[in-house]
Structures are given as structure tokens and as C-alpha cells.
Chains A and B, each alone.
Chain A
Amino acid sequence: MAKHHIEATVNGDAVEFLCETEETLLDVLRDTLNLTGSKEGCASGDCGACSVMLDGRLVCSCLVLGCEVGGRKIETIEGMAKGESLHPLQRRFLEAAALQCGICTPGFLVASKALLEKNPNPSEHEVRFWLAGNLCRCTGYDKIVTAVMDTAAAMRKG
């Protein structure tokens, strides 16, 4: 069967690609579009390392087929910094050492940004529940949660 020809928007840029039905959005991002920031951890929607925004919704890109995204808007970790200027969450993660090996970090950043856009003043409880689908085997989570809370506080002050 012929490959699907898909046109979509990734981080504000129009892209087009060919994919097989079996290929996930994560496969397309990493292997076809060379956007390797999104990681494959579990490939079953449990770990959140592949988190991206699809039409403004946080999703696991391993649970989306590439052929589903025609005409849709995708945002990945690669679109988070504006040029050389890191997003406040990225800066805070670095300053607070909210990462160790870094595999989970793109997913945590994309998910945390989605949270703060919906809720600029989350409680610690809300942060932990929102990020329950992002697994980290290094940090023990406290530094990540603190970094998100601190960033939220700083962004509220403007």
C-alpha cells in the first residue's frame, strides 16, 4: 500500500511527510522530521517521554498515528525555546537541577508548560497529578515539582 502523504504544522512550520500506517507520530517526528527531542521510553503511553501538544492537547506521540495528523498543529520540545532564549521552565530546570540523565526532561517540560498555560497557579498536588504520566527514574520528582512551582510563581510576577 502506498504511503500516506501528510501535511501538518510542527512548531509553527508547515511540514509534509510520507509515512506508513504503522508509524506513530513519534516515529515520524524522530525518524522522518529529525526532531529527536521527543523520546521513546515505553512506547505504550505510560512514561510521557514522547509528550507533545496536538491541537493544544497534551498527548503521548507514541499513541498517535502519523497518518492521523493531517492538517493538525503539533508542538514539540524543539519549539519551546525562542531562538537562544530558553523558556522559563527550561531555565529553572537547569538552575534547580531538575534533571539528571535527561531522557524524561523534554516530556516533563512540554507537559509542565501545558499545565502552566491552563493553570498559572497550581498547587503542589495539582502539579503532581498533572505530571503523573511522566516518569523519571533519576530525580525522585521533588526537584521537578519544585522547579515547576517556582517557575509558576516567577511567571505570575511577570
Chain B
Amino acid sequence: MRYEAPESLEGAVALLAGATGEARVLAGGTDLLVQMRADVVDPALIVDIKKIPETRAVTEEQGGWRIGAAVTGAELREHARLKKAWPGVVEAANLIGSTQVQGRATLGGNLCNGSPAADSVPALIAAGAVATLAGPKGKRNLPVEDVMLGPRTLALTKGEIVVSFLLPPRPPRSSDAYLRFIPRTEMDIAVVGAGVSLSLDGGGTITAARVSLGAVAPRVLLVPEAAQAIIGSRLDKAAQDRLEAAARAACRPIDDKRGTTEFRIDVAAVLARRTALIALDRARAN
């Protein structure tokens, strides 16, 4: 098994594009090393992207924020200004695993692991985050909701890596939130996850919103109908009911040991409502 840690995007892309056997990108390794140990994957080449500066930086850009794909959860937690601008994204990232896992786990890895239950992905989708990819044909941008096609299946072509995520500028009175349901208090995989980002006008009416649901379909869903259900409202009871109905209608979950189809659909509706209420409270305070 070959290990390479290139210091440039071009170097990483060339290695991955030229790989003859199975190749894997290593960011935090909290999924990859477990899968290697369990013989789920046996790559011939591992490309560690952590020495590439673009993957490791959090920077302000065009009034928004760019987060490197290999920035760890612990680093996001300590970034006070990012946390203030995007509390939902940071709280979602911080729900992944233990303190030890937070020391390594990354947004890029959480997305590219290709799990519909990934905690940070609904928050990124709700945020309107765009992934910047680097590949043999150069860079391109892809909305996060278009990166994952299904379980363990990504829209990335051979040689492409996720470099960073761009979170858009925030109007005043905007915020976001992420909630998940797990049967414990910590360290578990989401049965359902919900991310909501919204903006208010001066009178407290929702002018823009994005709602995303995790673990209720083969990929993390952007649910425009759920956003439409609350845009133009002050999230009164009627709007909450419409939001719940839209969330329910979007779900196509599996039945498994973590939750039945029926349970997941119920929980998705409840979480969408609660998450929207938290985002609303935060937006009012901004």
C-alpha cells in the first residue's frame, strides 16, 4: 500500500488520476482507517491531502466563509467568528464522534464518506454551501447537495478531490441550526438529521430559507417544498404545520435497526420544525 502526502492540489490530482488500483483520499481518517481495518476497503494508494494548504484553511471570502475540506471539527469549534456566522454548520460538524474523533474528523471526509446519515452534510446543504473540486480538468464548483448521488457514491470523477466549501455571505437577521435524533445523548449515528438556514426581514418575516434532511433517503436531501412552506411566514403554527407536511412528503427512508420508515418520517417532521424554530430564534438575535 503506497502512501503519498503531496503539498499541492496538482500533485494530489496527478496521483489520483494516474492510480491504477483503488485509490483513497485521506483527510482525518476516522472513516477510512476503520474501513481499512474492517477490510471494507483495501486501497493500493492513499493520498493524504492535509499538507495541501487550501484544504486546511478557514478564510473569509467575498463576504462569506471558505472552509478547507481537511479542517477538523475541533478547529471549527474554536473558530469564534465562523461559529457566530454559521452556528448550524459548526454544531453539526461538532456532533460527529467523540472529542478524539473531533481532533481528526473533517467536513470533506464526512461528505466523501458517502453516508446519507452524515451529520455535517444537511447543515452544509441548508447553508447553501458550494464544494470546490480540483481535478485533471481544473477546478469546478458543485453545490453540496449534488456531490453525493447515493450511499458511497459521489459525483466526483476520477482524480477529483473536494478542496473546500464556500459558505455564502449572510444578510442581517440570518442564522442556521442542525438537530439530529439518536437514541443516546452522544456518539451515535443519526436516525434522522435536519438542517435549516433562514433569513428574516426587519419585521421578522422569513424572506429566504433552505431545509435539508439526512438519513431519510439514499442521499441527503435538499427539500425546497419545506423551505417554500415557511418563506413569507413568521413561522406561526400554520407555517410549522406546512413545514412538517413538506418534510414528511420528502422522506423515502429505509427500515432498519436504527428506525422504522414510519418512525423516521415522524421524526423528520418534528426535527424540521424544531430546527427551524432554533434557526429563527438565532436569526432574531442577529
**Which residues of A are at the interface with B, using a C-beta cutoff of 8 A?**
1, 4, 20-22, 24, 43-46, 48, 51, 54, 57-60, 62-65, 67-68, 111, 114-115, 129-134
CA distance A137 to B39 in the complex (A): 27
Cα distance A24–B103 when bound, in Å?
A: 16
With a cutoff of 8 Å between Cβ atoms, the chain B residues found around residue A44 in the complex are 34, 37-38
Shortest C-beta distance, A3 to chain B (Å), equals 11
A54 touches B103 (CB 8 A): yes
Given contacts A45-B100, A45-B101, is CB(A21)–CB(B74) below 8 Å? no
Cβ A63 vs Cβ B187 within 8 A: no
A-B pairs under 8 A by CB, number: 83
Q: Nearest chain-A residue to B33 (Cβ)?
A: A63
CA distance A58 to B103 in the complex (A): 6
A133 to chain B, nearest CB (A): 2
Give the chain B neighbours of A64 by CB distance below 8 A: 29, 33, 104
Further 4 A-B residue pairs, CB within 8 A, beyond A21-B2, A132-B98: A21-B3, A64-B33, A132-B186, A133-B187
Taking a contact as CB atoms under 8 Å apart, the answer to whether B2 and A133 are in contact is no
In residues 45-70 of chain B, which contact A (Cβ within 8 Å)? Answer: 46, 48, 50
Q: Which residues of B1-45 are within 8 A (CB) of A? A: 1-3, 5, 26, 28-30, 33-34, 36-38
Question: Are A1 and B1 in contact, with the CB atoms below 8 A?
Answer: yes
Q: Judge whether A60 and B3 touch: CB under 8 Å.
A: no
List A contacts of B26 (CB < 8 A): 65, 68
Q: How far is the CA of A20 from the CA of B2 in the complex (A)?
A: 9
When the two chains form their complex, are residues A21 and B1 in contact, meaning their CB atoms are under 8 A apart? yes
Complexed CA–CA distance, A60 and B98 (Å): 10
The answer to whether B1 touches A60 (Cβ under 8 A) is: no
Can you identify 24 A-B contacts, CB atoms within 8 angstroms?
Answer: A1-B1, A1-B2, A4-B3, A21-B2, A21-B3, A43-B37, A44-B34, A45-B98, A45-B100, A48-B100, A51-B100, A57-B103, A57-B104, A58-B99, A58-B100, A58-B103, A60-B100, A63-B28, A65-B33, A68-B26, A114-B99, A132-B99, A132-B187, A133-B99
Question: Residues of B contacting A4 with CB < 8 Å?
Answer: 3
Interface residue? B106 (CB, 8 A): no
* Residues in B neighbouring A46, C-beta threshold 8 A: 98, 187
